[in-house]
């Protein structure tokens, strides 16, 4: 009988989705109604999928009744009871659902919503542009006004800068020289002092104190009362040659360090006349106000993002490079040369910044904004690629990853390519960070060696071991027989002046120093010299000072490097 039923089923080819559940297919009973009654009686808690299983099963277009009869899809032909534990999704399924939900959220809505900034007071903000359109309706007139505006900006900025830099002409037709905070007559890269505070000497009983030759000139002039820490000033520096016994004093809010010995170079100051001194002032604040005024006017009277970005970028670049944070150089002419050399590559990068990101914002942004615009996934892919590149660079041996100002700005700027008010703030900050990094330091490498990173800081290099010296009446001899092998040589500083340098190939193992004619304290420091395969040499850390006292006794240096 079952075979006949099967044969009849195959012959009549009854649709699979019309087959009732065996438990519900009783004569005179509606299958759907039976399902509802069974659910009421406790069989229930069945999902929509359960109802599909009970009422019938969907089959694929490729499936034939013969396939079902052969048992290839028997679980679809012969329904079975759905137990509750079979309906509960596993943990893997749950994780997949969560990942799918996250991916759906990242992709954003099906129809992206582009953000737009609506002005708070549109009529007031557009009034200057409408006024310009009324008086200068033609494009050529506006372009001419823009050229005149830029010319006024350049001329006023240049004249103010010249007055601030050049200053008055001193007696003898000698122009003044602009100095940085750490400029000195005795250049010594390893002894600049922390935060530019190296200042030694300054007699309190003289009108113009005397300072040691390696002191920073500007702090010394401030200590002597020649210049002001607010407006700067000018003074006349005079070299005095060797002096001794520099006292430590405090004047005008600056403290100097005492040095109870001699030094081969000293200097003092002479104050200029009142007329010349009044003409010599630092006008950085005036130039800042001038730059802010011109950029503000430009933002009010232009509706072109390209014009505003180009003019503002160029003006701020020269303000940083020539006024607010100038690169170190021996003359202002060389500062101008460095600024022009860095402007061209910075201009190409600025074009990329405007074309890809700034032009979207001008007519770390919130991720929600990028999501609603349907671009969050692309940005995540971009930053994943950037992170992979940084990890590869980080794995390069003997090199250190260095994210400079301009690199950080370029990495974060892609995330500001939306039109929201926070985006304007973030993008302005990042563009300023890029300008400051390039104008001040240039396009520094993203990978640097340990020596480049340390610069003038302590290297934590090995210190030479110096045994007790041999002292006679007026000489002292140091032996270097126990030096560590593998170093290029050794250097000796006497009163912070290099007096001896010996390389390992010279085979000279001792240094003799004769006492100065003026019997006084003398200080000795020792440090290794490093050499590479190309013949380049540099100094390691120096020991703390050992003292040859006036009575001829020797006070050995304390452990550790000198600062």
Q: What is the CATH number of the domain that holds 535?
A: 2.60.40.10
Q: Which two tokens stand for residue 162?
A: 């010249």
Q: At 152, is the pLDDT very low, low, confident or very high (cuts 50, 70, 90)?
A: very high
**118 assigned to some structural domain:** no
Identify whether the C-beta of residue 317 lies closer than 8 Å to the C-beta of residue 435: yes
Q: At 539, is the pLDDT very low, low, confident or very high (cuts 50, 70, 90)?
A: confident
Are both 399 and 488 inside the same structural domain? Answer: no
Are both 475 and 446 inside the same structural domain? Answer: no
| pLDDT for residue 328 | 80
CATH number assigned to the domain comprising residue 197 = 2.170.130.20
Q: Which two tokens stand for residue 395?
A: 């794995």
Q: Does residue 273 have a pLDDT over 90?
A: no
Arithmetic mean of pLDDT over the chain: 75
H helix and E strand count, the chain: 20, 20
Identify whether the C-beta of residue 272 lies closer than 8 Å to the C-beta of residue 295: no
Give the pairing of strands 522-531 and 489-494: antiparallel
358 three-state secondary structure: helix
Q: Does residue 524 have a pLDDT over 80?
A: yes
Are both 369 and 486 inside the same structural domain? Answer: no
Lowest mean pLDDT among 252-256, 273-277, 308-312, 351-355: 273-277
Place of tokens 């759906």: 104
Lowest mean pLDDT among 90-99, 219-228, 277-286, 457-466: 90-99
Residues 6 or more apart whose CB falls under 8 angstroms from that of 163 comprise 283
Identify whether the C-beta of residue 394 lies closer than 8 Å to the C-beta of residue 401: yes
Tell me the Ramachandran region of residue 45: left when phi exceeds 0, alpha when psi lies from -120 to 50, beta otherwise.
left
Q: Does residue 151 have a pLDDT over 90?
A: yes
**Through-space distance between the first and last CA atoms of the chain, rounded to whole angstroms:** 105
Are both 441 and 477 inside the same structural domain? Answer: no
Q: Does residue 477 have a pLDDT over 90?
A: yes
Identify whether the C-beta of residue 502 lies closer than 8 Å to the C-beta of residue 480: yes
Question: Quick one: average pLDDT of 432-448?
Answer: 91
Tell me the percentage of the chain whose pLDDT exceeds 90: 20
**How many CB atoms lie under 10 A from the CB of residue 344?**
8
Are both 336 and 447 inside the same structural domain? Answer: yes
Runs of H (alpha helix) within 398-501: 405-412, 421-441, 450-454
**365 assigned to some structural domain:** yes
Q: How far apart are CA 390 and CA 374, in angstroms?
A: 26
Q: At 535, is the pLDDT very low, low, confident or very high (cuts 50, 70, 90)?
A: low
| pLDDT for residue 45 | 46
**How many CB atoms lie under 10 A from the CB of residue 493?**
22
The 8-class DSSP code of residue 370 comes to: H
Question: Quick one: average pLDDT of 374-401?
Answer: 83
Are both 495 and 385 inside the same structural domain? Answer: no
| pLDDT for residue 432 | 92
Q: How far is CA 357 from CA 154, 285, 340, 351, 376, in A?
A: 28, 31, 25, 10, 14
Runs of H (alpha helix) within 78-116: 84-87, 91-107
Q: How far apart are CA 276 and CA 386, in angstroms?
A: 56
Q: At 90, is the pLDDT very low, low, confident or very high (cuts 50, 70, 90)?
A: low
| pLDDT for residue 206 | 61
Q: How far apart are CA 102 and CA 106, in angstroms?
A: 6
Looking at per-residue pLDDT, the higher value among 332 and 2 belongs to: 332
Are both 550 and 438 inside the same structural domain? Answer: no
CA–CA–CA angle 557, 559, 563 (5° rounding): 85
**9 assigned to some structural domain:** yes
Are both 427 and 481 inside the same structural domain? Answer: no
**100 assigned to some structural domain:** no
Q: Hey, which of 7-11, 38-42, 63-67, 244-248 has the most confident mean pLDDT?
A: 244-248
Identify whether the C-beta of residue 360 lies closer than 8 Å to the C-beta of residue 433: no
Q: Does residue 116 have a pLDDT over 50?
A: yes
| pLDDT for residue 545 | 92
> pLDDT of 204-216, one tens digit each?
556 678 999 888 8
Phi/psi of residue 238, nearest 5 degrees: -125, 130
Mark which of 55, 70, 87 sits at the end of a domain: 87
Are both 498 and 532 inside the same structural domain? Answer: yes
Question: Quick one: average pLDDT of 329-341?
Answer: 86
Q: Which two tokens stand for residue 407?
A: 């690199």
Are both 522 and 446 inside the same structural domain? Answer: no
Q: At 69, is the pLDDT very low, low, confident or very high (cuts 50, 70, 90)?
A: very low
Q: At 363, is the pLDDT very low, low, confident or very high (cuts 50, 70, 90)?
A: low
**299 assigned to some structural domain:** no
Q: At 455, is the pLDDT very low, low, confident or very high (cuts 50, 70, 90)?
A: low
Are both 355 and 428 inside the same structural domain? Answer: yes
Type and span of the H or E element at 404: none
Q: How far apart are CA 149 and CA 159, in angstroms?
A: 16
- Structural domains of the chain, count: 4
Question: Quick one: average pLDDT of 428-450?
Answer: 90
Q: How far apart are CA 18 and CA 13, in angstroms?
A: 11
**24 assigned to some structural domain:** yes
CA 273 centroid distance within chain: 45
Q: Does residue 106 have a pLDDT over 80?
A: no
Q: Does residue 123 have a pLDDT over 70?
A: yes
CA–CA–CA angle 534, 540, 545 (5° rounding): 150
Mark which of 254, 278, 302 sits at the end of a domain: 278
Lowest mean pLDDT among 13-22, 103-112, 415-424: 13-22
Judged on CB neighbours under 10 Å (0-12, 13-18, 19+), 367 is: middle
**How many CB atoms lie under 10 A from the CB of residue 238?**
12
Identify whether the C-beta of residue 181 lies closer than 8 Å to the C-beta of residue 216: yes
> pLDDT of 28-67, one tens digit each?
444 444 444 444 444 444 444 444 444 444 444 444 454 4
Q: What is the 3-state secondary structure (H, E, C) of 293-312?
A: HHHHHHHHCCCCHHHHHHHH
Residues 6 or more apart whose CB falls under 8 angstroms from that of 190 comprise 456, 539, 542
Question: Quick one: average pLDDT of 190-202?
Answer: 51
Tell me the Ramachandran region of residue 464: left when phi exceeds 0, alpha when psi lies from -120 to 50, beta otherwise.
beta
Q: Which two tokens stand for residue 366?
A: 């919130």
Q: Which domain holds residue 37?
A: 2-87
Are both 341 and 446 inside the same structural domain? Answer: yes
Looking at per-residue pLDDT, the higher value among 117 and 367 belongs to: 117
| pLDDT for residue 172 | 57
Mark which of 452, 484, 505 sits at the end of a domain: 452
Q: Does residue 74 have a pLDDT over 70?
A: no
Identify whether the C-beta of residue 57 lies closer than 8 Å to the C-beta of residue 76: yes
């Amino acid at each position: 009988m079952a075979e006949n039923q099967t044969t009849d089923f195959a012959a009549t080819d009854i649709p699979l989705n019309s087959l009732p559940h065996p438990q519900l297919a009783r004569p005179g009973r509606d299958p759907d109604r039976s399902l509802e009654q069974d659910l009421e009686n406790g069989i229930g808690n069945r999902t929509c999928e359960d109802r599909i299983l009970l009422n019938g099963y969907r089959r694929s277009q490729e499936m034939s009744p013969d396939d079902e009869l052969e048992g290839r899809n028997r679980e679809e032909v012969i329904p079975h009871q759905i137990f509750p534990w079979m309906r509960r999704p596993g943990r893997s399924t749950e994780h997949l659902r969560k990942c799918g939900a996250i991916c759906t959220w990242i992709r954003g809505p099906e129809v992206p919503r582009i953000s737009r900034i609506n002005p708070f007071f549109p009529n007031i903000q557009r009034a200057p542009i409408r006024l310009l359109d009324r008086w200068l309706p033609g494009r050529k007139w506006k372009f001419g006004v823009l050229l005149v505006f830029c010319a006024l900006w350049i001329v006023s900025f240049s004249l103010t800068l010249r007055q601030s830099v050049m200053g008055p002409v001193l007696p003898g037709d000698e122009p003044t020289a602009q100095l940085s905070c750490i400029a000195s007559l005795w250049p010594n890269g390893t002894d600049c002092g922390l935060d530019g505070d190296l200042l030694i000497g300054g007699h309190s009983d003289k009108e113009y104190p005397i300072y040691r030759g390696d002191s920073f000139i500007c702090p010394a002039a401030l200590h002597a009362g020649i210049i002001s820490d607010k407006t700067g000033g000018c003074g006349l520096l005079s070299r005095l040659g060797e002096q001794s016994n520099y006292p430590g004093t405090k004047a005008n809010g600056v403290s100097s360090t005492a040095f109870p010995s001699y030094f081969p170079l000293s200097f003092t100051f002479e104050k200029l006349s009142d007329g010349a001194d009044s003409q010599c002032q630092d006008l950085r604040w005036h130039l800042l106000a001038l730059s802010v005024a011109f950029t503000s006017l430009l933002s009010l009277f232009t509706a072109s993002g390209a014009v505003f970005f180009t003019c503002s970028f160029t003006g701020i670049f020269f303000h940083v490079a020539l006024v607010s944070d100038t690169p170190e150089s021996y003359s202002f002419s060389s500062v101008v040369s460095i600024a022009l050399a860095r402007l061209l590559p910075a201009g190409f990068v600025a074009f990329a910044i405007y074309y890809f990101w700034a032009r979207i914002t001008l007519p770390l942004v919130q991720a929600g904004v990028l999501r609603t615009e349907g671009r969050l996934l692309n940005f995540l892919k971009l930053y994943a690629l950037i992170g992979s590149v940084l990890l590869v660079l980080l794995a390069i041996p003997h090199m250190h990853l260095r994210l400079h100002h301009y690199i950080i700005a370029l990495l974060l700027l892609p995330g500001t390519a939306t039109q929201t008010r926070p985006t304007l703030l973030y993008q302005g900050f990042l563009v300023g960070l890029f300008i400051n990094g390039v104008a001040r330091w240039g396009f520094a490498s993203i990978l640097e060696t340990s020596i480049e990173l340390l610069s003038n800081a302590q290297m934590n290099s090995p210190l030479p071991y110096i045994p007790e010296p041999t002292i006679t009446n007026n000489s002292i001899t140091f032996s270097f027989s126990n030096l560590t092998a593998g170093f290029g040589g050794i250097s000796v500083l006497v009163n912070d002046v290099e007096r001896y340098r010996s390389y390992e190939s010279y085979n000279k193992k001792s240094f003799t120093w004769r006492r100065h004619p003026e019997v006084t304290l003398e200080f000795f420091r020792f440090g290794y010299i490093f050499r590479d395969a190309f013949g380049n040499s540099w100094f390691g850390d120096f020991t703390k000072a050992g003292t040859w006292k006036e009575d001829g006794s020797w006070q050995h240096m304390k452990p550790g490097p000198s600062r």
